[in-house]
Structure 1
Amino acid sequence: MTRTQFLHSDGVGFRDLNHNGRLDPFEDPRRPVAERVEDLLPRLSAEELAGLMFHTVIEAGPGGELLAGPGRISKSATRDVVVGKRMNHFNVHALVDVRQAATWANRLQDLACETPHSIPVTISTDPRHAAAENAGTSWSSGFFSQWPDALGLAALGDEDLVRTFADVVRREYVAVGIRAALHPTADLATEPRWGRQRETFGQDHDLAARLTVAALQGLQGDRLGPHSVSATTKHFPGAGPQADGEDAHFPYGRDQVYPGGRFDEHLHPFEAAIAAGTAAIMPYYGRPVGLVLDGEPVEEVGFGYNRQILTGLLRERLGYDGVVLSDWELVNDNLVGEQVLPARAWGVEHLGPEERMLKLLDAGVDQFGGEECDELLLALLADGRVGRERLEESARRLLRVKFELGLFDAPFVDVDAAPDAVGTPEAVELGVTTQARSVVVCADDGLLPLAAGTRVWLDGVAEDAVGAGLQLVQRPEDADVGLVRLHAPFEPRDDLFLEAWFRQGSLDFPPGLRHRLARLPCPLLVDVRADRPAVLTPLLDVARALTVSFGVSDGAWLLAVTGEVPPEGCLPVSFPKSMAAVRAAREDVAGDADPLFPAGHRVRIQPVR
């Protein structure tokens, strides 16, 4: 272990962060955060300032070891980025279990003590508390309590519940050393085809604003402190209105459009997040096309490069002085194995990496997401194209968050206590109950709730999820009801890195599905596992009952359809009648596609007697 010494001076205990044997102002836990930041800033070398301004991917090794070389996605050995490049903000991907996660976090913090000022590491994560996984946007971590997707929470529309959920997330993250959340997602799900809706709170701007604030309160508390998780609200100024529903991760999805003139509605949840004190904001990749603000056309470059958006709108008009973290890989292409994902330099593809970095800095970005090219920033500093004062401007905001989180004073976690703090029986039970409650009944002719003793045949439902109240049969002709769970449709793609994880394209089910279901010799209860809307019209004449779920396990769904935990969800997004209706709709207007089931739709079922 190389942890900094804990010393005493003038009656106060402190960590000797710069290893000089005396109490310096930035090490003094009694002093105000602003004073500690201002004392530390001039002490930092150019390399330390630059290191603060990168937030890249990191991976944990087996048994909580630090990786000695590159990982599956991470580009460098852990020691190289922490000690060599002086970086200390990392987005962690897969974690195996609680003890290994906590052990790894402590080893990472211990490694940071080898740097000149022992600047502690801030470990961040994308959402982890739902069962679904989408590399680059969310991770499945079964040792945490499992809840519905954000869309499922929006189906219940309960601010207190979201606050409680986010508080559980906070406690579980802190126990394993994760102190930054790359969420909540405040985007509006107004384009039915867009592939990232499951992370959002739906299409209604007022509901999304209220639930975003509740999530922030649960993660951060009234203000950041030693037990908080700092939140990054994304993706400013609202990533929902993607042209034709394509995602801006990919070149064909670079454009954001506002044919309905609803820019202010998409901005609204971010205004609420700023008022609630979000620690950081992440702009999206998309470039606005045809957008006019305050009478001025907005430059058609990605939002991270866009000075009118980040400085003019975010900093000046909205008064935001927190961290601006760019989305991932705006400077360099990402090569993983045989696949490449071009830098999301939409509108500035013609610029080289140095010029892209300059444009990001000029726009108002504090941190480069997914990059570790510190040599570019240091070269710009050495050449005088960027001044030290610009680096200090961003470093000041970044250090302030670290100090407020208490990381300079207590970065380590209790490995032995972590297993008892994560996935507690109370949190697990509440998560499962919330999943069941969030199920939306879209249609029912009296089939629901399923009575005890009902003989059921399964398609897409795990046999071990069926409780004692139902009788499992192996042939549909022997069943009283067939239970069918379908994934919402999408068009598989796998040319560019990450494409395979994004569910994009048409919302139509394959044409043969309806015919296959119609041939089954028993009444059907069909559930659609929805990470975005689907065209449900063909299912209505083959299903006696139809439900929609958002990140709900088989066991929780069965609790809902048997009435053991009555389903209460209302659709948080409209489900369109046809793809023709989707293509005719305006991307920025909620519910503009002619709906089969509008947002708010719900069929109430009779309670179990």
Structure 2
Amino acid sequence: MQKRLTTSVMAALFLNGCSQAPAPTTSQVLISSRSIPVIEQGGLTFRDLNSDGLLTPYEDWRLSPEARADDLVARMTLEEKAGQMVHGTLPGLQGFAGFSSVGYDIDVLTAPVLERNISTFISRLSMAPADIAVQNNLVQQLAEQTRLGIPVSISTDPRNHFQYVVGASSASNGFTQWPEYIGFGALDNPAITEAFARQTAKEYRAVGFHIALSPQADLATEPRWPRINATFGSDPQKVSQHVAATVTGMQGSNKGLTSDGVLTVVKHWVGYGAAVDGFDAHSYYGRYADVANEQAFAQHIAAFDGAFTAHTGAIMPAYPILQHASVNGEAVPPVAPSFNHMLLNDVLRGTYQFNGVLISDWGVTNDCSDECKAPTRRQGPGEIAMPWGVEDISQYERFVMGIRAGIDQFGGTESVEPIVQAVQLGDLTLERIDESVKRVLITKFAQGLFDNPYVDVDTVASVVGQPAILQQAHEAQAASQVVLKNNSKLLPFNFAAKKVFAPGMSAEAISNTGAVLVDTPEEADLAIIRTTTPSEKLHPLYFFGAMQNEGRLNFVESDEAMKALLSLPEQLPVVLAVFLERPAILTEIAPLSDAIVANFGASDSALLAVLSGDITPQGSLPYALPSSMSAVEAQSPALPNDSANPLYPAGFSLLYAK
């Protein structure tokens, strides 16, 4: 049953950071149920979540999220509380680890929801937005069968960017496609970043997503690190500003989470970007980050300032063990942040007064076997584990240590038994568990999920992928690009009636400029070569190492882009378009082109809009581009733009207008 009693929406409810609780609202909010009965009282309606026929405080939307959470926590069993402290995976049909283009396996989901009382899951569906909405409603329908009617919070990794493929843009399955986060760092306009986040939040909520496992506040200080693409760059102050803009847009306010907002999980606290040799801490060989000294470490911490000023509702600790880290002269213990009492309790909860949800990254409680540490074959799911610094203790002890350090919810696990057992054995107090459970429940109440967990499938098309928003995203893709070279003022280029050699690019996009795509460079008036930052697969047996781009950043003659450029006629004007998913070294390849344009996620149309001058490029480099691999190897992984004599310094750009 569904009652639409008024179009008024619950007033914004702040998650944390307010001087006092918001005033109760008396305007009817939207109530939606499938099997849970509805109570009418004083002309108002409420969901009878526990089906007892009475209006209990946690069912009363007129009360604050904090008051409702207090009441609900007092009614929960230990087992129900433990279920709130893990962040599982929605199982997919015909898929792996939740990945599916078919839908959720609701039968498999029954046990985690109804037996283990889990109410937070990540979704990895790859479907049209309206189809995702249908599936997410099925999850909420299942949750109505729980004893207390606790709705499910559904999280997602970023869906509104590019999985870059040379010459082709990812469709994102209908979600609006913006530049990568690093593109917003290049554009450096927090207002545009906030607009992107606000629109993304609308799309997420329209299909039933409530938690964004983003943005990254990590500093891009080690050029070889594979996760730079999802950062805002190397400058702590700028990163902080864009993190604040993202949190504000996503959550719907710079004062906390609102009823139509998406909970942001700012990550990764802290120092993740200082990866030794650029190796990522998803793998055993990359489990260390070297933050150099207290002053350098302070810059990595400062990048999170915007998360606190905008009152993010959640933070995710990082994976790696921090080398040379200290706070106020005291050495940081050599365990990953999820187990680090100093970093979580003393600094995050203490110094920064953060009272939101602390969600661990995935797999930190798993055992790292010999095949996890040094695989003799391609790793499978059973070898995925990241318990860095606590490898030698048991899973049970990791749960206890993490909760004592400050973790409220463990990511990527559906194991609730250690939490229950720890309380029963006296290793954790029920009061400590209640703290975490209340934080998790407050977010659900603030978003109105206890009152209306469902989405209207028929309205998805009116929210997701609207033409005006698609145009804004296209303009952001274009404007975020950076012109690095423009010999003889080749750009902007007049494409009208010209012949263009652009292997892999869209013929339609070329045609829309007034030019013709040709098959050979000999017949062309202009060549456009699209490429990406060079990389290597240095650890192919590791689950993540096989997927991540590691190693060299410089071009060599065996690279496809180099071969393509060397094969072109000498007199043919050439534009090199480089997707900077990491800071490429252009020293060897730059002389082979007349113009170089860097992008951070751009369709062929967005690239051509810049090359033609229809949209003025406004980006500047969000990090330095090194001059050589020897310079990269000699630099500190912790310091921003520490590479000696960069070919292009951070902030570099050449601007032109049509």
Is the structural similarity TM-score above 0.5?
Answer: yes
Distance 2:391 2:527 in 1: 52
Deviation at 1:10, TM superposition (A): 3.3
The one of 160, 163, 182 aligned to 1:129: 160
Q: Note if 1:462 corresponds to 2:496.
A: no
Residues in 2 aligned to 1:94 and 1:384: alpha-carbon distance in whole angstroms: 40
Aligned to 1:510: 556
Q: CA deviation at 1:249?
A: 0.6
- The answer to whether structure 1 residue 224 and structure 2 residue 257 are counterparts is yes
Question: Match of 1:581?
Answer: 631
Does structure 1 retain, via aligned residues, the 8 Å contact 2:171–2:177?
Answer: no
- The aligned residue for residue 531 of structure 2 is 486
Q: Deviations over 1:258-279 (max 9, x none)?
A: 2264111111121221121100
Measured against aligned partners, the alpha-carbon deviations of 1:321-375 in whole angstroms (never above 9, x if no partner) come to 1110000011115999845444211111111101111110111100001011112
**SS of equivalent to 2:361:** strand
Unaligned regions of 5+ residues in structure 1, if any? 70-76
Q: Does residue 331 of structure 2 align to residue 331 of structure 1?
A: no
Question: CA distance change for structure 1 residues 3 and 281 in 2, over 3 Å: closer, same or farther?
Answer: same
Task: Supply the AA of the counterpart residue of 2:127.
Answer: V
| 1:498 aligned partner | 544
In the alignment, which residue of structure 1 is the partner of 2:461?
Answer: 419
User: Is 1:33–1:403's contact at 8 Å kept on the other side of the alignment?
Assistant: yes
The change in CA–CA distance for 1:313 and 1:44 in structure 2 (over 3 A counts) is same
Q: Normalising to structure 1: TM-score of the pair?
A: 0.94
Which residue of 1 is the match for residue 303 of structure 2?
269
* SS of aligned partner of 2:130: helix
Secondary structure of residue in 1 paired with 2:577: strand
Alignment match, 2:16: none
Please, which of 101, 121, 137 is the counterpart of residue 106 of structure 1? 137
Q: Distance in 2 between matches of 1:57 and 1:115?
A: 18
2:277 aligned to which of 244, 265, 272:
244
Displacement of 1:91 in angstroms is 1.0
SS in 1 for 2:174: coil
Counterpart code for 2:104: L
Aligned equivalents of 1:291, 1:501: Cα separation in 2: 29
Deviations along 1:470-505, one digit per CA (max 9) or x if unpaired, are: 221111111111110012111124312233331111
8 Å CA contact 1:340, 1:496 repeated in 2: no
CA contact (8 A) 1:64 1:103 kept: no
How far apart are the structure 1 equivalents of 2:535 and 2:548?
9
* Partner residue, 1:156: 187
Q: How far apart in 1 are the matches of 2:101 and 2:283? A: 35
Distance 1:23 1:322 in 2: 28
Equivalent position of 2:603 in the other structure = 553
Distance of 1:340 and 1:420 partners within structure 2: 42
3-state secondary structure, aligned to 2:315: strand
Structure 1 residue 603 corresponds to structure 2 residue 654:
yes
SS in 1 for 2:591: coil
> 1:279 is matched by which residue type in structure 2?
G
Deviation at 1:213, TM superposition (A): 0.5
Q: Secondary structure at the match of 1:597?
A: coil
User: 1:453 offset after TM fit, Å?
Assistant: 2.3
- What is the letter of the counterpart of residue 410 of structure 1? N
The verdict on how the C-alpha distance between 1:59 and 1:602 changes in structure 2, with shifts beyond 3 A counting, is farther
Residues 537 and 596 of structure 1 are in contact (CA less than 8 Å); yes or no, is this contact kept in structure 2? yes
- With structure 2 as the length reference, what TM-score do the two structures score? 0.87
Paired with 1:544 and 1:219, the residues of 2 have a C-alpha distance of 41
* Cα distance in 2 between the residues matched to 1:463 and 1:339: 41
SS at match of 1:8: strand
Superimposed CA distance per residue, residues 149-205 of structure 1 (whole angstroms, 9 cap, x where no aligned partner)? 011111110011111111110110110011111111111111111110111111111
The corresponding residue for 1:174 is: 205
CA distance in 1, matches of 2:556, 2:152: 48
2:506 paired with 1:449:
no
Distance change >3 Å, CA 143–CA 515, structure 1 → 2:
closer
Q: What is the letter of the counterpart of residue 532 of structure 2? A: H
In structure 2, the residue matched to 1:74 is: none
Q: How well do the aligned residues superpose, as a CA RMSD in angstroms?
A: 1.9
Whether the aligned pair in 1 keeps the contact of 2:101 and 2:126 (CA below 8 Å) is no
Shift of 1:59: 4.2
Contact 1:185/1:212 (<8 A) preserved: yes
2-structure distance, mates of 1:467, 1:89: 47
Report if aligned partners of 2:336, 2:387 keep a CA contact under 8 Å in 1: yes
Letter in 1 for 2:251: Q
Aligned residue for 2:303, secondary structure, equals helix
Aligned residues: 596
Instruction: State the AA in 2 paired with 1:456.
Output: V
Residues 558-600 of structure 1: per-residue CA shift (max 9 Å, x gap): 1111111122211111110000000011111111112100111
Runs of 4+ in 1 over 6 A off after TM superposition: 334-337
The separation in 2 between residues aligned to 1:412 and 1:421, in whole angstroms, is: 16
Q: Gapped runs of 5+ residues in structure 2? A: 1-32, 94-99, 373-377
Distance 2:171 2:432 in 1: 38
Query: Which of 382, 407, 429 matches 2:471?
Result: 429
- Distance in 2 (CA, whole Å) between partners of 1:180 and 1:338 is 28
Query: What is the CA–CA distance in structure 2 between the aligned matches of 1:301 and 1:122, rounded to whole Å?
Result: 30
